[in-house]
Amino acid sequence: MMKPINFSLHAILIIGAVGFLLFILYLMKKGKLEVKYSIIWLAFSLCMIIFACFPYTVLVLNDIAGVIDPVNFIFFTQIIFILLILLSVSAVISGFSKKIKQLAQANAILEKRVRELEEKMDK
């Protein structure tokens, strides 16, 4: 049987999870985090809020997953979110890498054309 959660710990978990959500929304409002990149962070913070407000859901999901200890289930879900965030960041970096390569190639073509035009003007 599960021990009842300490009220102060419960309050800290809820405040921390809501604070994290508000911080994500603040970053989105200030334009420091785009909506398309923040979806995974919003999902993570909502999951944290659900786990903090309703600790029984952790036990139910823990039993469904067949994990021995609820703490291990929480660590497991956090690792999954971290992997999703890493995958998301890798996809963004790959996209930027392609764009940088295209820009470098376009820049080289433009430089070549400028040099050719300068040579024509010097003659």
Angle at 107 between CA 97 and CA 95, to 5 degrees: 15
For 59, 88, 97, the CA distances from 20, given in Å and listed in that order, are 23, 19, 30
Give the pLDDT confidence of 44-56 residue by residue, as tens digits: 999 999 988 988 8
Q: Is 103 helix (H, G, I), strand (E, B) or coil?
A: helix
pTM of whole model > 0.75?
Answer: no
What is the residue whose two structure tokens read 């960041």?
89
Give the span between the Cα atoms of 69 and 14, in whole angstroms.
21
* Tally of CB atoms within 10 A around 41: 21
Average pLDDT over every residue of 62-71: 88
